[in-house]
């Protein structure tokens, strides 16, 4: 095999086949496609609640003795982080509860 810097020229047929495979993969499993493509925005969205909570807590702890205004800003950051975390949790629970097959009620 070649190194990463090697140039490979694909024929028109190979490019068409590769495009067809990529489009089938994108349609059949979009989550896998996002993971393989390295969607950075998804990772940033996943880390945002924890970052806001931690940074807000640091601001509150560092400023509550001398600046009520800055401590309030830190509390607001923590509230936003908690809200984002709760929203993510609710969405996962809803997705999980809808994904499970529900048993038929008795008597049917």
Chain segment 29-87, per-residue pLDDT in tens: 777 776 777 666 767 778 899 999 999 999 999 999 999 999 999 999 999 999 999 99
Record the pTM.
Answer: 0.55
Per-residue DSSP letter, 100: S
- Nearest-angstrom CA–CA distance, 37 and 31: 10
Residue 68, both tokens? 């009520």
With CA atoms as reference, report the closest residue to 82 among 70, 74, 94, 71.
74
Q: Please state the domain extents for the chain.
A: 12-99
With CA atoms as reference, report the closest residue to 49 among 86, 74, 76.
86
């Amino acid at each position: 095999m070649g190194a990463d810097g090697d140039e490979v020229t694909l024929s028109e047929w190979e490019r068409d086949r590769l495009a067809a495979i990529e489009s089938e993969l994108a349609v059949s499993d979009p989550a896998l496609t996002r993971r393989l493509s390295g969607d950075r925005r998804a990772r940033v969205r996943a880390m945002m609640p924890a970052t806001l909570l931690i940074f807000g807590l640091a601001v509150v702890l560092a400023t509550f003795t001398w600046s009520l205004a800055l401590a309030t800003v830190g509390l607001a950051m923590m509230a936003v982080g908690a809200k984002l975390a709760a929203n993510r949790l609710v969405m996962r629970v809803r997705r999980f509860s809808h994904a499970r097959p529900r048993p038929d009620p008795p008597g049917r």
